[in-house]
Amino acid sequence: MFFKKTKVLPKVFFISSVIQIISTIYLIKYFNIYGAIWAFLLAKVVQIIFLYFESRKIFNYSFNTTKQIVLPVFYIIMVVVSEIFMNESYRFIIQIAQLIIINILVFWVYRKEIKMLRSSLIQKLKIK
């Protein structure tokens, strides 16, 4: 049964590899090294999407979309946009602002887990 279920992985990796090769050829031609970076990111996004849809046929699972998709995508977009429009003289201030914003969001999104971890650590410290 295990080998029957793993047929999906070569298919997904093959498709994402073809997309990465084709996009790398075209994007490097127009954007040099940045084209290679964008081609890599594009291939990984395609790979994640294919793996998600193919694995749903085999496994039934659920996950928190905010924690695993929205927060990381927001952070990536925030960093990319700030790097594109950043004034070099304000680089340090903008990076500190990014750090503060993402920390506030992470602590807010993971507040229940942080509370559980904190109480677990306090409980273990009381036992010792």
Task: Give the per-residue SS3 of 5-27.
Answer: HCCHHHHHHHHHHHHHHHHHHHH
* 54/69 same-domain check: no
* 29/68 same-domain check: no
* 14/42 same-domain check: yes
CA 6/CA 46 separation, integer angstroms: 19
pTM for the structure as a whole: 0.62
Measured from the Cβ of residue 27, the count of other Cβ atoms closer than 10 Å reads 19
pLDDT at 3: 60
Determine the structural domain holding residue 56 and report its residue range.
Answer: 1-61
Reading the chain (128 residues) residue by residue, the pLDDT tens digits are 556 667 777 888 888 899 999 999 999 999 999 899 999 999 998 998 888 888 877 777 788 889 988 999 999 999 988 888 888 888 899 999 999 999 999 999 999 999 999 988 888 888 76
* 2/43 same-domain check: yes
pLDDT at 9: 79
Cα–Cα nearest to 74, from 46, 35, 105 = 105
pLDDT at 21: 94
Of the residues 17, 45, 61, the one at which a domain ends: 61
* 18/29 same-domain check: yes
* 95/75 same-domain check: yes
* 96/37 same-domain check: no
* 17/77 same-domain check: no
Of the residues 45, 61, 77, the one at which a domain ends: 61
* 57/78 same-domain check: no
Of the residues 61, 94, 112, the one at which a domain ends: 61
Domain count, the chain: 2
